[in-house]
Structure 1
Amino acid sequence: MKKVTRFFWFCSGAHIDTLKKYPIEHNKYVGIGATIFFTALFASLSGGYAMYFVFNGDAFAVGFAILFGLLWGTAIFNMDRYIVSSINKEGTTNQQILQASPRILLAIMIGIVISRPLELKIFDKEIRQKLKLSYLKGQHRKIDTLEKTYNQKYAMEMGKTNDLKKEKDSLEKDINRSRFLLNQEVFGDKTNQTSGITGYGTYAKQKQAVLEEKEARLKTVTDNLGQLDAYLGHRKDYEGLNSTRLFTDHQLDSLANVAGFSDRNWALGQLSYNENGTRDLDTYLAISFIGYLFILFECLPVFVKLMSPKGPYDVAVAKTAEANMYMADRDKDLNITVTDNTYDHSLETDVERRKRVISSESKYEF
């Protein structure tokens, strides 16, 4: 437990030798250090998960994710540790808040960044469904666009095809009617369109000629229609209309599995909206609260330091810093005095040197 305590003291950025003298402050800085450590841990997990999606499918994806996660967590840890340790408890509350305000703003941005990858994992199932629906709609739009372009590009040929189909249907009906009339004429059935004379006579030959003419025209129309259909079918293959099909469930699952970070992030944003474009309040609040939670967690190290009361450790650190400033100023003045003095101090005895230093220090008040 002593090693764990010292580790969290290190995480808090405290001066361990000074902190040891004040047992009443030990638990407070253990709490501050633990908060900084776990904030960096969550940042490391989030950064590694985000990088895993960036290199998803690569053989070294896991290695890149671990490396980036460690680097990102270390960066967040060092920044939190420095900012928390640099907050001066000697100042007023407003001064402390002013010192911490840049860190709080940065914490909000970092909280948003580290929360997003974890939100993607939490809502993974819903994101997959949204992506599959999006891909299916996209395929529908693609097919509609291809059909519209095809219809516009080959409108003349398609119009001619429709005319030939209509003519073919009309000819087939006329041929059937003409063949029926020819049979009536040959068998001598008396109607307003037949002579009633049995046998293959003049009227039968006329009807036979008309029938053959219509059959010849039908053959020509059928051949032209077949050529146009073959041409349009070839053009459909060329334009990609025949090869473009709606995705199957298996294909949609595969596409959702290989979706990149950008697509998944877009799908997560779309979860907050219904199909009609209105906001889905429940999902929006769920996603928002997760983001707010991580922002709060990222700000916790600063908030804990700001909320903690001024203790004996803070007073001791302030006095130590003041003493160090005094010693630095004194050494600076002594160096200036030694530099300006033309007397060669290297010839002094130890007793003379001590007397000179004591005389110089008597000018300062501690």
Structure 2
Amino acid sequence: MLKQFFILCSGADTDILKDCSIGEQNKYAGIGATVFFTAVMASIAASYALFTVFDNLYTSIFFGLIWGLLIFNLDRYIVSTIKKRDNITQEILQATPRLFLALIIAVVISKPLELKIFEKEINQVLLEQKNDLTLANQNQIAEQYHPQIATLENEISGLNAQIEQKEAEVNTLYNTYISEAEGTSGTNRLGKGPVYKEKRDKHDLALAELQQLKTNNASKIEALKTQIANLQYDYATHVKTVQPIIDNFDGLMARITALDTLPWLPSFFIFLLFLAIEASPIIAKLLAPKGEFDYKLQDYETTIQTWSQQKVAERQLLLTTDNAINNKVYQEIADEEDVINYKRKQARQLMQNQADAFYKQQKGVL
């Protein structure tokens, strides 16, 4: 049962092959097995590739099976249409486009399997790329917010600088009137005289201005800090919104691109393996000598071809003969008086009918 199934997969004519030797049947069973298992590998590869796209197991398996059937049909067609001829050059020319198609199929089959085989290495490359994208995204978003935050922080620094400057002025005035009271500077008189009082009033006035400045600047600084907090929140929200897009940066194209960054030699050998599997039935048929099945198939095809050509020739001869007979018959009766009189009578009747029809038409118009 399994042997018959593989023979069916090879695309060989089962009616002819069943009369061939066991060895000939085994050869085509082997070709059919190669075609079948290539389609199985294609189905697995397509299912994995589609799973990276749809993230749905059943959908991936369904379309993977359809892809496997398509590859099976193509391979079966390629193998079944290669026929052994007595001219090796003609056989090679016949197989060349099929080998090119096998090359394309091998690429399509091998690439998803490479993605699965090197999945861990690809995940590492994708992780590094995601980290780079995250940093680049944060820097790009920061360029939109950081200049505004820096401006607000500079304003806060300016307000604090005003307070510090005023505090320095108040401290200077404080030291001045204290030194005046102690007699260590100014009038150099110990005690609290008029000069002391004047300097004390200046200090008190500056201290009041300092307190007012602190109050005003505190409200301004608080407002600026609120704006900075809002900008920082917007920045964090923007980064958080974009981050899922970066986290999902692991689709089929991203994985293929990551695979290209890995050493090419392992992938190349995997491709060669599938190319050898895909092209092996074609190469086997080219290298194998002309077998019993090939001779019987050629005999059957040439029989049909000869019979078809014979029928075409017979129909052509029949047509030529029939035309010659008809020409001879019409030439013989062309000059007979009865035929001429009959044709004259029919022509007269036709002209009368035409005249009557024209009369009725004109009468209807009037």
Partner of 1:267: 258
Provide the secondary structure at the position in 2 that maps to 1:242: helix
Tell whether the 8 Å contact from 1:12 to 1:29 is kept in structure 2 after alignment. yes
Provide the secondary structure at the position in 1 that maps to 2:236: coil
1:242 corresponds to 2:236? yes
**More displaced 10-residue stretch of structure 1: 143-152 or 188-197:** 188-197
Provide the secondary structure at the position in 2 that maps to 1:127: helix
Provide the secondary structure at the position in 2 that maps to 1:309: coil
TM-score by length of 1: 0.75
Count, aligned residues:
317
- Percent identity, aligned pairs only? 31
Partner of 1:278: none
Partner of 2:210: 214
Tell whether the 8 Å contact from 2:10 to 2:31 is kept in structure 1 after alignment. yes
1:204 to 180, 200, 204: 200
Please state how far the C-alpha of 1:204 moved relative to its aligned partner. Answer: 2.1
Partner of 1:275: none
TM-score by length of 2: 0.75
* RMSD across aligned positions (CA): 3.2
Q: Which has the larger radius of gyration?
A: 2
CA distance in structure 2 between the aligned counterparts of 1:193 and 1:183, rounded to whole angstroms:
9
Tell whether the 8 Å contact from 2:47 to 2:63 is kept in structure 1 after alignment. yes
1:318 corresponds to 2:313? no
Superposed, 1:256-335 pairs within 5 Å as: 259-270=250-261, 272=262, 283-335=263-315
Please state how far the C-alpha of 1:316 moved relative to its aligned partner. Answer: 2.1
CA distance in structure 2 between the aligned counterparts of 1:19 and 1:83, rounded to whole angstroms:
18
CA distance in structure 1 between the aligned counterparts of 2:300 and 2:58, rounded to whole angstroms:
45
1:117 corresponds to 2:112? yes
Unaligned runs of 5+ in 2: 323-366
Tell whether the 8 Å contact from 2:91 to 2:286 is kept in structure 1 after alignment. yes
Superposed, 1:1-366 pairs within 5 Å as: 3-20=1-18, 21-56=20-55, 61-152=56-147, 157=152, 159-175=154-170, 177-178=171-172, 181=175, 184-185=178-179, 188-192=181-185, 197-198=190-191, 201-237=197-233, 240-244=234-238, 255=247, 259-270=250-261, 272=262, 283-336=263-316
CA distance in structure 2 between the aligned counterparts of 1:87 and 1:191, rounded to whole angstroms:
119
Tell whether the 8 Å contact from 2:10 to 2:79 is kept in structure 1 after alignment. yes
How big is each residue's C-alpha offset from its partner over 1:159-201, in whole Å with a ceiling of 9 and x where there is no partner? 43443343344444544x3486278359x44444796644573
Change (3 A) 1:208 1:91: farther
CA distance in structure 1 between the aligned counterparts of 2:255 and 2:167, rounded to whole angstroms:
58
Change (3 A) 1:129 1:320: same
Amino acid aligned to 1:231: Q
Unaligned runs of 5+ in 1: 273-282, 343-366
CA distance in structure 2 between the aligned counterparts of 1:126 and 1:192, rounded to whole angstroms:
80
Amino acid aligned to 2:158: D
